[in-house]
């Protein structure tokens, strides 16, 4: 098994966990081909702690496996009897494990993998997100399941339950479909994206339960969302393969990222560096620069991808994409193209000149008899 330091971990529909190294521009399968089964589809992933020593990835058959980064092998398998449904997300709470199923139940498991807590969040759950800055708080939402904020230590009732937006201009009810959730750092605000192409910001610290910002983005369901490190912007991706940066202060589109050929399944912004990694249905993993917008790394993973997880260990900008090298390579490629062009020889030049002269002579000879006829008529 390879012992490279991986910067990006990706989970596929076939059950393979993949790791990409952005320094060497290589990727590897981190488990064996014997794990390739439909039931082993990787649904979601998370780190064990902020030290990032292990990767937890949950499969469709409700089996959670643990990949040890230092030993580069799968060190543990956790078989949970969580109930019906597929995993929507997993997270760690101290040494305990949080799991969320699409049937609407969230469980907290202790070290012995026994249930310490069960939360009924509602049917058709689409997402569950833990607050990175306050791990006690989790947010849930789904189809006709509004955004709810829960405290794991006091989970009898939700702390906050959002209210639907007013009826549209035809006085029709707007459907609820929360697809993904993000917590805005240094504030109590929560941003969500919907299956009806809206980005909404909620502020649970106020009396208002409706969104304080509601923006329509394109015309397609938004499936992926990640908050930028500054907190003023969010990057979203939809089923059409469009990835955009939205300014949450005014709701305007700050920029668009190009290069996609399939719907975006998941994306994640680096917590400290201006990088955003995404995986899409075209089986590519792309790493964009948030501000410069160009693709820094691109990996073809050979499988349909579901989820993505970034590591803190990351190469510097000089190691990955120095501007000087880009200019030099551009100049070298242009010089190479000019060198490949055939040189026009002297004979070919003389022939072309003779042809031009013959053409001029023909024009003169054709015009002379016409001029003589005009003089005779006069």
Say if 361 falls within a structural domain: yes
What is the predicted pLDDT for the residue at 82? 81
Mean pLDDT across the chain, nearest whole number?
A: 85
Look at residue 366 in the predicted model and tell me its pLDDT.
60
| Within a domain: 367 | yes
Question: pLDDT higher for 3 or 323?
Answer: 3
- pLDDT tens-digit map of 323-378: 444 434 444 444 555 565 555 554 455 455 565 666 655 555 565 554 544 444 54
329, part of any domain: no
Residue 266 falls inside a structural domain: no
Q: Is the pLDDT of residue 171 over 90?
A: yes
Tokens standing for residue 282 = 């075209």
Residues in CB range of 112: below 8 A, 6 or more apart: none
Range(s) of the domain holding residue 373? 342-377
Q: What is the 3-state secondary structure (H, E, C) of the chain?
A: CCCCCCCEEEEECCCCEEEEECCCCEEEECCCHHHCCCCCCEEEEEECCCCCCEEEEEECCCEEEEEECCCCEEEEEEECCCCCCCEEEEEEECCEEEEEECCCEEEEECCCCCEEEEEECCCCEEEEEECCCCCCEEEEEEECEEEEEEECCECCCCCEECCCCCCCCCCCCCCCEEEEEEECCCCCCEEEEECCCEEEEECCCCCCCCCCEEEECCCCCEEEEEECCCCCEEEEEECCCCEEEEECCCCCEEEEECCCCCCEEEEEECCCCCEEEEEECCCEEEEEECCCCCEEEEEECCCCEEEEEECCCCCCHHHHCCHHHHHHHHHHHHHHHHHHCCCCCHHHHHHHHHHHHHHHHHHHHHHHHHHHHHHHHC
In tens, the pLDDT along 75-102 reads 889 988 888 889 999 999 988 999 999 9
Of residues 186 and 54, the one with the higher pLDDT is 54
Residue 354 within a domain: yes
- 23: tokens are 């320094």
pLDDT over threshold 90, residue 167: yes
The predicted-structure confidence for 271-326, as pLDDT tens digits, reads as follows 889 999 999 999 999 999 999 999 999 999 999 999 999 998 786 554 444 444 44
How many domains would you assign to the chain?
A: 1
Q: Is residue 249 part of a domain?
A: no
Please report, rounded to a whole number, the percentage of residues in the chain having pLDDT higher than 70.
82
Using the predicted structure, report yes or no on whether residue 230 has a pLDDT greater than 50: yes
Phi, psi for residue 299 in degrees, rounded to 5? -130, 130
Q: Which segment of 30-39, 211-220, 247-256, 272-281 scores lowest on mean pLDDT? A: 30-39
Residue 373 covered by a domain: yes
pLDDT tens-digit series, residues 96-147? 999 999 999 999 998 888 888 999 999 999 999 999 989 999 999 999 999 9
Chain segment 51-73, per-residue pLDDT in tens = 899 999 999 988 999 999 988 89
Domain assignment present for 58 = no
Question: What is the per-residue pLDDT for 326?
Answer: 41
Whole-number pLDDT of residue 112: 85
- If you average pLDDT over residues 167-185, what whole number do you get? 94
């Amino acid at each position: 098994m390879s012992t490279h330091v991986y910067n990006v971990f990706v989970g596929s529909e076939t059950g393979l966990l993949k790791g990409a190294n952005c320094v060497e521009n290589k990727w590897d399968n981190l488990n064996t081909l014997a794990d390739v089964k439909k039931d082993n589809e990787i649904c979601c992933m998370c780190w064990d702690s902020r030290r990032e020593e292990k990767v937890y990835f949950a499969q469709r058959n409700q089996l959670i496996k643990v990949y040890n980064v230092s030993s580069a092998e799968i060190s543990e398998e956790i078989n949970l009897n969580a109930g019906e449904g597929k995993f929507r997300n997993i997270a760690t709470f101290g040494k305990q494990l949080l799991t969320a199923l699409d049937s609407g139940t969230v469980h907290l498991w202790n070290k012995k993998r026994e249930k310490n807590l069960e939360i009924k969040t509602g049917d058709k759950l689409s997402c569950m997100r833990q607050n990175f800055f306050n791990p006690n708080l989790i947010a849930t939402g789904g189809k006709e399941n509004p955004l709810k904020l829960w405290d794991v230590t006091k989970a009898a009732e939700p702390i906050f339950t959002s209210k639907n937006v007013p009826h549209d201009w035809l006085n029709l009810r707007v459907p609820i479909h929360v697809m993904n959730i993000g917590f805005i750092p240094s504030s109590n605000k929560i941003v969500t994206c919907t299956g009806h192409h809206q980005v909404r910001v909620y502020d649970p610290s106020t009396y208002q339960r409706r969104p304080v910002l509601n923006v329509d983005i394109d015309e397609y369901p938004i499936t992926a969302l990640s908050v930028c490190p500054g907190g003023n912007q969010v990057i979203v991706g939809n089923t059409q393969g469009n990835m955009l940066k939205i300014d949450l202060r005014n709701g305007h589109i700050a920029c668009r990222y190009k290069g996609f050929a399939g719907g975006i399944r998941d994306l994640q912004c680096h917590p400290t560096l201006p990088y955003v990694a995404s995986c899409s249905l075209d089986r590519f993993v792309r790493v964009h620069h948030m501000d410069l917008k160009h693709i820094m790394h691109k990996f073809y993973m050979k499988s349909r991808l579901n989820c993505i997880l970034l590591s803190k260990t990351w190469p510097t900008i000089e190691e990955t994409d120095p501007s000087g090298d880009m200019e030099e390579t551009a100049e070298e490629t242009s010089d190479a193209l000019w060198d490949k062009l055939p040189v026009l020889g002297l004979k070919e030049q003389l022939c072309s000149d003779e042809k031009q002269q013959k053409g001029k002579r023909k024009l003169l000879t054709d015009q002379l008899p016409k001029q003589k006829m005009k003089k005779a008529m006069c």
